[in-house]
Copies of this chain bind each other. A is one copy, B any other.
Amino acid sequence: MKGRSLLMIPGPTEFEPDVLAATGAPTVSHLAPSFVEAFAGALAAMRQVWLSPSGQPFVVAGSGTFAMELAVASLVEPGDRAVVASTGVFGDRYADLLARHGAEVRVVHAPVGEAVDLEQLEDAVRSTSARLFTVTHVDTSTGVRTPVSELGAIARRRGAICVVDGVCSVAGEEIRQDSWGLDVVLTASQKAIGVPPGLALLVAGPRAIERFEARRTPVRSYYGDWGKWLPVLRGYESGAPGYFGTPAINLVAALAVSLQRIVSEGMDARFRRHEILAGAFQAGVEALGLPQVPARPEWRAHTLSACHLPGGVSLSEFVRAVGESGVVIAGGLHPDLRDRTFRVGHMGSVRAGDVLATLGAVEAGLRAVGRPARPGAGVEAASRFLASVAVPSTLGAR
C-alpha cells in the first residue's frame, strides 16, 4: 500500500481521506435511495463546479481517454469537418478519434511550449466550415495553458461547436462554461476533481445538446452515445433512475463527496488557490535554475508544471532521487521532451506545504544527481512568493 509519500504527478493526485473512504465503502445497489441521492447530488454539483447552470452533466465509467470520445462521438457525423487545436500529445489524439467517427479533420499545431494562436484557430474553423473544434485547455504533456475564454465567441461566430478538453484543468483553472459559451467541457475524475481514476466527466451546454438532437445518423459508438445516457442521468436527477450500464457506484459516491468539498471551498477561492500555489512552485523551480517548458509566463498552467532538467542529467535517476525524499513526480510525456523534462502536478487537494515539500525534494534530487542548487533556494523563493500574496488562509485548510 502507498505510504505517506506525496503523489505529485499530473494525476492521479493526492485524494482526501473522506473521498477514499467513500471509494472503499461497501457497495450498495445502483437503485439504493442513498446512491440515487448521491448521484443526483454529484450531477447538481457538477453544474456549480463547471459554472454551468444551463449544462447537462455526464458521468460515465471510463478513463479520461473515453471522456474525449464521449465528448465528440455524439456531435460529429460522417463527413463533418472538424478542427483540432493541438499543443501536444493529447491534442493530436483528437485527430485520430474524430476520424473514427467519420469527420474530416484539420489540425492546428502550436509549437511545443506555446499556446494555440486563436486567430489561426478561427481561420481554420472558418476556412474549413468546421462544425466542431477541440482545444486542450491545459496540455498535460507540456504544462501549457491555452486561453479558452474566447472560444465560445469563436464558436458562435463560426456556427461551430467548441469542445474544451479540461482533463488537466477543470476544478483547478478558471473555467466559466456558461459565461464563456463553452459547448462541451470534459475532464476525468483523477485530476483536480480529486477522485480515483475511472470516471469520464463532462458538461454539455444547450448548443451541444441541440446539435446532438439534430443529428441524422446514429452515433458510431454505443457506449458513448448521449442518447443512451441522457434518460439515465436525467432519471437519477429526478429520483427515478434509469439503466444503461451499472454506474461505477463506489467512484460516483466518492465523486459526490469530492464535489461537495469543491463547492464548499467556492470556485473563485479554488481558482485562486491553484494560481497562488502554481506561482509559488514555479518561483521555486526558477530559483533552483530549472527552466519551464511553457515559453511565456502567461501560458504556465496552474495545475501542473513542466520543467527542463539540466543537460546531462538522467531523467530516471533524477525522478528516483526525488522519490527518495518521499515525493513522486513524473517524467516527460511529450515525444520531443520525454527524456529532458519532468512534470509536477499541483492540483486538487494540494496545499502550500505540498509545494514546499516538493521543492525540498527537487532540491535534494538535484544534489543527488550532482547538480546542486543553493540550499534552500527553491523553498525560500516559494515562501517569498507566498508571503507576497494577501490571503494565507486560502492555502491549505478547507
A-to-B contact residues, CB < 8 Å: 1-7, 9, 11-12, 14-18, 20-32, 34, 60-66, 68-69, 93, 96-97, 99-101, 188, 190, 196-198, 218-225, 244-251, 321, 323-328, 330, 349, 351-354, 356-361, 363-364, 367-368, 372, 375-384, 386-388, 392-393, 395-398
Contacts and interface: CB of A to CB of B under 8 A. Distances in A.
A34 to B, nearest CB: 8
Contacts of A220: 100-101, 220-221
B392 A367 contact: yes
Contacts of A11: 246
A396 B100 contact: no
Given A376-B379, A383-B379, A386-B364, A14 B24 contact: no
A18 B32 contact: no
Contacts of A378: 383
Nearest to A7: B29
Nearest to A350: B4
19 contacts: A1-B26, A2-B25, A2-B34, A5-B351, A5-B397, A7-B28, A15-B26, A29-B328, A61-B197, A99-B218, A321-B392, A324-B393, A354-B357, A356-B357, A356-B360, A376-B382, A377-B380, A379-B382, A379-B383
A328 B7 CA distance: 21
B364 A222 contact: no
A168 to B, nearest CB: 12
Contacts of A12: 27-30, 246, 249
B30 A26 contact: no
Contact of A351 (B24, B325, B349): B325
B7 A27 contact: yes
B353 A361 contact: yes
Considering residues A321, A353, A368, which has the most beta carbons from chain B within 10 angstroms of its beta carbon? A353
B379 A356 contact: yes
B32 A97 contact: no
Nearest to A384: B375
Contact of A353 (B27, B198, B327, B349): B327
Contact of A197 (B64, B101, B249, B367): B249
A197 B247 contact: yes
B395 A384 contact: no
A368 B393 CA distance: 9
Given A24-B25, A376-B382, A379-B360, A325 B352 contact: yes
